[in-house]
Amino acid sequence: MSESLFDKVKINHFSPNDSAMQDSLTGLDRYEIFLKKLQKAIDNIGDRRISITYTDIKHFKYINDTYGYQVGDALLQDFVKEMTENNEYVICCSRVYSDNFVAAGYLVGEVSNEQFRDFIQELNQEREVRFREKYLNSRLQFCSGISIIDKNSRSLDAETAVSNANLARKVAKELEEDCCVLFDHSMMEGIKREVEITSQVPKAIANHEFKVYYQPKIETSTLKLVGAEALVRWQKPDGSFVYPDQFIPFIERSGQVVDVDYYVYREVFRFLAERIAAGKKVVPVSLNVSRVHLTKMSILEYVKSLFEEYKIPSELIEFELTESIYLDNTAQALKLVDGLHKFGTKVSMDDFGSGYSSLNLLSRLPIDIIKLDKVFLKDDTLQESDKIVISCMVDMAKRLRIVSLCEGVETPEQSNYLKEIGCQLQQGYYFSRPVPQEQFEQIIDNEYNDRDSENK
Ligand code: C2E
Ligand code: CA
Ligand code: CA
């Protein structure tokens, strides 16, 4: 516990609240009261505009977990003080729950909705600097969503206005830079799509609408097939395809990705076991591991049961965990890697270099392979700066005895460059797109027929 933090933080003890109308910690109106006041203001809106700003404090939990609730409470009180003081335009404010706050106010004069957004964004950023210093947390962030209504708005209902602001806040929370977003009706479309997708998933699993595609992995020195990555596709009954980027983020939020991943894993185990039983050649297949598994950890049990059921050698399975998983929760990720290693399977760090640079993690993590993200190969002709970064990463991996694989190889120039710098494995459209199982089987069969005839 940091002494200096307590020195800096003045713990405000609000006098015990005898009013059933107020939140005892912050002294703000209780949410039901807030809604009533807001509705009254809306009913009398006239020619005015009302802004509803919904704010949430990112990484607030860390403060509670690290310094205790007393400091967490002090931070909330500090925030409330700033939110309410010297603001004659505020109609009412409330804590919806925990670290979620909502404030309603009149927009004055000529200020445009966008200017108001910029104003709140600046306010959040300034506050962030102060609070990060005061509360010793360099990641603390204020994320706000704003909905603005006037007499012509589609809905003039307080609850809808708050839920729109909250929706914009969720969008803000996912953005890296902007911590403040204005609600617009297209966001509702996104929500509708999410609800539509997530409600269809259970049936899609039962109907075998998810298909596993395989993308070959190639050994640089020989240009031979040495493995594949399993990539899921959703083929709707009408034959149309939904690609992972269009549904994985939704089903990660709903938790259903666990079931889809298990479905993919089972398909891959079954595929390999069937080929082995038929005396055909096989290559190792890597499986993507969603971040959601980290919270459940039932993946280890599930994989164990698949090995018991299908009895395939463990060298045939690899797991890909994205760089961000390791960063989000290193301790839990290490546990997972450890558990997967116990089966004898290899583990890779996927999308390496796509987000934060986790160079320091690389030396601490027991991973076998790094998959350099396709962002490094974004241009057909490699930029000198990209070349430097890729070659340094490959070199570093080599020294750490980690195998390097480069994703997204689309041209012979890129492939040759990877050979020059000794990147062991490659994967990308230049060799093959992800293909359905039948096509992948042909690729394996052709490869081994060729090798057999070379050996004769
Ligand atoms: P990822 O794991 O990074 O997979 C590689 C993605 O890059 C695939 O997109 C692949 O089709 C694409 N790709 C491969 N070669 C090239 C190339 O040369 N150029 C370009 N531009 N792209 C290339 P896909 O299949 O759409 O998958 C997108 C992401 O969805 C994957 O990224 C992975 O994060 C996720 N995903 C896919 N299947 C599964 C799954 O079964 N479970 C989980 N949890 N996630 C999955
Ligand atoms: Ca992957
Ligand atoms: Ca990747």
Give the bridge partners for 371, in sequence order. Answer: 405
CA distances from 268 to 94, 154, 336 (A): 51, 49, 20
Which residue bears the tokens 């993946």?
Answer: 299
- The verdict on the CB of residue 325 being under 6 Å from ligand 1 is no
Per cent of the chain over pLDDT 70 is 94
CA of 350 to the centre of ligand 2 (A): 6
Mean pLDDT of 419-425: 97
φ, ψ at 150 (rounded to 5°)? -135, -175
Q: What pLDDT, in 10s, does the model give residues 366-402?
A: 999 999 999 888 777 788 888 898 999 999 999 999 9
Q: Domains (ranges, CATH) in the chain?
A: 3-185 (3.30.70.270), 192-455 (3.20.20.450)
φ, ψ at 46 (rounded to 5°)? 55, -130
Q: What one-letter code names the amino acid at 94? A: S
DSSP H helices, 278-329, are 293-296, 299-310, 323-328
pLDDT of residue 86: 63
Residue 356: band (very low, low, confident or very high) from pLDDT cuts 50, 70, 90: low
pLDDT of residue 173: 87
Mean pLDDT of 344-359: 84
- The verdict on the CB of residue 89 being under 6 Å from ligand 1 is no
DSSP H helices, 88-183, are 113-134, 158-174
pLDDT of residue 251: 96
Q: What pLDDT, in 10s, does the model give residues 102-131?
A: 999 999 888 999 999 999 999 999 999 999
- The verdict on the CB of residue 373 being under 6 Å from ligand 1 is no
Q: What pLDDT, in 10s, does the model give residues 234-254?
A: 999 999 999 999 999 999 999
Higher-pLDDT residue of 44 and 8 is 44
State the Cα–Cα distance between residues 349 and 272, nearest whole angstrom: 23
Q: How many other CB atoms are found less than 10 A from the CB of residue 301?
A: 11
Q: Which ligand ends up closest to the CA of 217?
A: 1
CA of 373 to the centre of ligand 3 (A): 6
CA of 371 to the centre of ligand 3 (A): 7
Q: What pLDDT, in 10s, does the model give residues 440-449?
A: 999 999 998 8
- The verdict on the CB of residue 428 being under 6 Å from ligand 1 is yes
pLDDT of residue 17: 44
CA of 420 to the centre of ligand 1 (A): 26
- The verdict on the CB of residue 288 being under 6 Å from ligand 1 is yes
Q: What pLDDT, in 10s, does the model give residues 316-336?
A: 999 999 988 887 788 899 999
Residue 2: band (very low, low, confident or very high) from pLDDT cuts 50, 70, 90: very low
CA of 422 to the centre of ligand 3 (A): 20
User: Whose C-alpha lies nearest to ligand 1, atom 4?
Assistant: 231
Q: What pLDDT, in 10s, does the model give residues 61-76?
A: 888 888 889 999 999 9
Residue 347 has pLDDT above 80, yes or no: yes
Please count the CA atoms within 13 angstroms of the CA of 330 that sit on its side-chain side.
Answer: 9
State the Cα–Cα distance between residues 419 and 405, nearest whole angstrom: 11
CA of 233 to the centre of ligand 2 (A): 13
* Interacting residues of 302 by C-beta distance below 8 A, sequence separation 6+: 262, 265
State the Cα–Cα distance between residues 51 and 102, nearest whole angstrom: 10
CA distances from 440 to 1, 33, 233, 276, 425 (A): 56, 62, 15, 15, 18
Name the residue of 246, 269, 288, 295 to mutate for ligand 1: max ligand atoms within 8 A of Cβ. Answer: 288
* Strand, helix or coil for residue 95: strand
Cα dihedral: 134, 135, 140, 145 (round 10):
-70
pLDDT of residue 13: 34
pLDDT of residue 7: 38
Angle at 263 between CA 257 and CA 264, to 5 degrees: 90
pLDDT of residue 364: 81
The count of residues in the chain is 456
Q: Which ligand ends up closest to the CA of 299?
A: 1
Residue 135 has pLDDT above 80, yes or no: yes
State the Cα–Cα distance between residues 346 and 262, nearest whole angstrom: 18
Question: For all residues of the chain together, what is the average pLDDT?
Answer: 90
Higher-pLDDT residue of 143 and 64 is 143
CA-based nearest residue to 5, from 80, 75, 61, 96 = 75
State the Cα–Cα distance between residues 354 and 95, nearest whole angstrom: 36
> What H or E segment, with its residue span, contains residue 40?
helix 31-43
